[in-house]
């Protein structure tokens, strides 16, 4: 267990705001809850799709870092086989 | 979702003990944030142990720093929803998250700490960032 997660038995990323890059164009920012049989369960999720968003992916991340996660989905399940990479949002501040 | 008051009481007590004034009504919030002069820190408290369990100790450490806000207030997300919603209107450029912290100077938000900057971090790290913000915005020479 890293950091201060006070929910014993949960995944290391439980409660952490993460950036989920997918195998497609979509990118999601939300609070990691758990991996379920249906996929990755996230809470309070903002979504970036290059074809539907005026911001580039970098601009979207920068805005999110500065102003927070503008959640569009209270709960969101992303099939695990669509996930390319999961990183903590806070790590993007150093990029 | 409303939480059992008995469950959240220790978290309320912890924030009061570290020196924050509780704002539980819209009127409380408006009185504290409506016509500000000087520096005010707002803690949006949370029952979430993943993050608030780090935020409160961090704030306690930061408030022992040489420079600190003149006023420290707190609203409790999920417990006092109306007060929390009202407080968030004062920093509406920022997406709601809890816990979070907003530092005001003369009514303007000069520093904001989102939940994602709290969760998973050691309270010492969070406190270090808060102290840096206090040095920048709360020291007499910064005014």
CB of B37 closer than 8 Å to CB of B46: no
B138 is catalytic: no
Residues of A in contact with B99 (CB under 8 A): none
The CATH number of whichever domain residue B51 belongs to comes to 3.40.30.10
Nearest CA-CA distance, residue B110 and chain A, Å: 12
Spatial separation of the C-alpha atoms in residues A18 and A34, rounded to whole Å: 12
- Please name the residue that has the structure tokens 């000069």: B110
How many A/B residue pairs have CB atoms within 8 Å?
61
In a domain, B24, yes or no: yes
Residues of B in contact with A69 (CB under 8 A): 95, 97, 114, 116
For B57, other C-beta atoms within 10 Å of its C-beta total: 18
- The structural domains of chain A, with segments of one domain joined by +, span 17-88
Considering Cα of B54, then A29, then B74, then B6, what sign does the dihedral take?
negative
pLDDT less than 50: residues of chain A: 1-6
| CATH architecture type of domain A17-88 | Roll (2.30)
In a domain, B85, yes or no: yes
Catalytic residue among B48, B60, B61, B109: B48
B47-63 tens-digit pLDDT:
876 676 789 999 999 99
Burial, B129: exposed, middle or buried (Cβ in 10 Å; 0-12, 13-18, 19+)? Answer: middle
For chain B, what is the domain count?
1
Minimum Cα–Cα distance from A87: chain B residue:
B116
Question: Which of A 25-84 lie inside 8 A of B, CB atoms?
Answer: 44, 67-71
Across the interface, which of A14, A70, A88 has its CB nearest the CB of B95? A70
Contacts of B132 (CB under 8 A, 6+ apart): none
B88-123 tens-digit pLDDT:
999 999 999 999 999 999 999 999 999 999 998 899
Choose from B49, B61, B113, B116 for mutation: most chain A CBs within 10 A.
Answer: B116
In a domain, B143, yes or no: no
In a domain, B142, yes or no: no
Pairing of strands A73-78, A39-48: antiparallel
Residue B18 or residue B29, greater confidence:
B29
Sheet strands (E) in B18-61 = 21-22, 39-45
pLDDT score of A50 = 85
Averaged pLDDT, B11-35: 94
Residues of A in contact with B112 (CB under 8 A): 68
In a domain, B93, yes or no: yes
Tell me the ipTM for this assembly: 0.85
In a domain, B100, yes or no: yes
């Amino acid at each position: 267990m890293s950091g201060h997660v006070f929910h014993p038995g949960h995944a290391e990323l439980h409660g952490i705001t993460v950036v989920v890059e997918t195998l497609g164009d979509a990118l999601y920012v939300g609070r990691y809850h758990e991996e379920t049989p249906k996929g990755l369960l996230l809470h309070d999720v903002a979504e970036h799709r290059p074809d539907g968003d005026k911001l580039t992916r970098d601009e979207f991340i920068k805005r999110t870092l500065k102003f927070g996660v503008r959640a569009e989905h209270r709960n969101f399940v992303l099939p695990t086989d669509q996930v390319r990479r999961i990183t903590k949002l806070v790590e993007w501040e150093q990029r | 979702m409303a939480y059992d008051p008995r469950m959240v009481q220790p978290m309320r007590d912890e924030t009061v003990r570290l020196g924050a004034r509780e704002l539980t009504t819209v009127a409380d919030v408006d009185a504290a944030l409506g016509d500000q002069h000087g520096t005010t820190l707002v803690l949006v408290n949370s029952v979430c142990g993943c993050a608030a369990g780090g935020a409160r100790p961090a704030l306690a450490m930061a408030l022992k720093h040489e420079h600190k806000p003149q006023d420290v207030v707190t609203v409790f997300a999920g417990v006092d929803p109306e007060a929390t919603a009202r407080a968030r209107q004062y920093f509406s450029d920022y997406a709601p998250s809890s816990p979070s912290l907003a530092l005001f100077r003369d009514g303007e938000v000069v520093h904001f700490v989102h939940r994602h900057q709290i969760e998973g971090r050691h309270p010492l790290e969070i406190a270090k960032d808060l102290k840096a913000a206090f040095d920048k915005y709360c020291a007499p020479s910064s005014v």
